[in-house]
Amino acid sequence: MNDKTAQARHVAANKIHLFNGFKSPFGGSERETLELYRLLSAGSQVRLWSTSSRMSGELTRQFPIHLVSPIRRKVPDGGTYVFLGAHWRNKLWPYLIARPRRLIYVFNTFHPKILGLTTRMPRLLNWPDVELVLISDFQKRTLGVDGAVHPSPIDLGRFSPRLVRPDGPFTVGRLSRDTADKHHPDDLALYETLLADGTAIRIQGGTPLKDRLAPCPRLELLPQGEFAAEEFLPTLDVFYYRTGSHVETFGRVVFEAMACGLPVVCHSHGGYADHIRHGENGYLFETTEQAAKILAMLKADPALRATVGQEARRTVEAMFSPQAQLDRLDFYRG
């Protein structure tokens, strides 16, 4: 083997390939993959691969995403394979590509079927054992699954606390995808009460509620993606969050709100809850009545909102500090 061949094999062995379906520009899994790509690319050779032919045109225009296609000879060539929100079981192409040096699965859901598909390796595939990465201690406890815990990476440079609150009504809002399971049915009555008390409600990803809430000048129900998160969140005074049947494994939007210096008021069942110290950097509630009391308290006390929001920002700065991020990235580069 000559020096050039040896060097080429070394480079291939140390490449990092990130796999995702890339179906939606607004999906948490897609955003996690792209943020990991941004961070890892600073010191490693990284490529993006779509495991679905239904990938988003918007994402493929913005990022160098390749569709895995053995027929067209567009395939990963070994190294470290990292799957996020996608899996390789029951597909043909894994048998037609180079064997990875390492195989990592970022398990960012609560679907045990997907976990089974990714941890039980087909005998003929002959890939290395899966190394699991979980995205919250809540997920680890709830599922009883072992693995490294890495919070979903967030670019704090995109978010900054709002220094001056604009004139206008006290505004409570939230941000999510436009799906019904992201909204809790009990929140309808809460929103109606808040509106009646003069509070403004601003919800991006709120189109599933349009036929369920009466029109009001202080009610805005925006479609997902109407504004970037860093533009939308600073228009709020408080970030409120509770989901329906969907359980947030991590809830990155909560941390984006905290990065904007917002006090967050969240249902206690979610991956974000492990990082919220009630009354210090945010609030957790179990019932609608508890949520209403917390929101009323924050409405009446702007100084409290500022203090809690400042502590929220400090929390995410510690979670996503350069050293903390580097320690997590070293896991993938090992």
What's the total number of domains in the chain? Answer: 2
Are both 68 and 119 inside the same structural domain? yes
Identify whether 331 is part of a domain.
no
Same domain, 129 and 174: no
Specify the pLDDT at position 118: 75
Domain assignment present for residue 328? The answer is no
Q: Domain of residue 306: give its range.
A: 158-319
- Residue 307 and residue 179 in one domain: yes
Do 270 and 195 fall into the same domain? yes
Is residue 181 included in any domain, yes or no?
Answer: yes
One-letter identity of residue 289: E
Name the domain boundary from 150, 179, 195: 150
Same domain, 48 and 83: yes
> How far is Cα 156 from Cα 208, in angstroms, rounded to an integer?
30
d(CA 18, CA 68) in angstroms, rounded, equals 11
Residue 164: its pLDDT value, please?
Answer: 65
Task: Examine the domain organization and report whether 143 and 240 are in the same domain.
Answer: no
> Is residue 325 domain-resident?
no
Domain end marker among 150, 174, 205: 150
Note whether 102 and 175 are same-domain residues.
Answer: no
**For the domain that residue 223 is a member of, what is the CATH number?**
3.40.50.2000
CB 181 within 8 Å of CB 245: yes
Question: Which helix or strand (DSSP H or E) is residue 11 part of?
Answer: helix 3-13
Do 95 and 182 fall within a single domain? no
For the domain that residue 121 is a member of, what is the CATH number?
3.40.50
How high is the pLDDT of residue 260?
Answer: 97
What pLDDT score does 166 carry?
65
* pLDDT for residue 145: 87
Of residues 283, 286, 288, 243, the one with CA closest to residue 263: 283
Per-residue pLDDT at 6: 41
How high is the pLDDT of residue 1? 55
Q: CA-to-CA distance for 265 and 258, rounded, in angstroms?
A: 10
Residue 8 is predicted with a pLDDT of 44
Are 36 and 132 part of one and the same domain? yes
Domain shared by 273 and 189, yes or no? yes
Domain-embedded: residue 240 = yes
Looking up tokens 């002959």, which residue turns up? 126
* Residue 89 confidence (pLDDT): 75
Of 123, 150, 177, the last residue of a domain is: 150
Residue 258 resides in a domain: yes
For residue 269, the Cα-to-chain-centroid distance in whole angstroms is 16
Burial class (CB in 10 A: 0-12, 13-18, 19+), 10: exposed
Q: Is the pTM above the cut of 0.75?
A: yes
Decide: residue 196, CB within 10 A, 0-12 exposed, 13-18 middle, 19+ buried. Answer: exposed
Are 140 and 42 in the same domain? Answer: yes
User: What is the full per-residue pLDDT of the chain (334 aa) written as tens digits?
Assistant: 554 444 444 445 589 999 999 999 988 889 999 999 999 999 999 999 999 889 999 999 999 999 999 999 899 999 999 999 887 777 889 999 999 999 999 988 877 777 777 777 788 888 999 999 999 999 999 888 889 999 999 999 999 987 666 678 999 999 999 999 999 999 999 999 999 999 999 999 999 999 999 999 999 999 999 999 999 999 999 999 999 998 899 999 999 999 999 999 999 999 999 999 999 999 999 999 999 999 999 999 999 999 999 999 999 999 999 899 999 999 999 8
Q: 3-class SS at 197?
A: coil
Q: Are residues 195 and 213 in the same domain?
A: yes
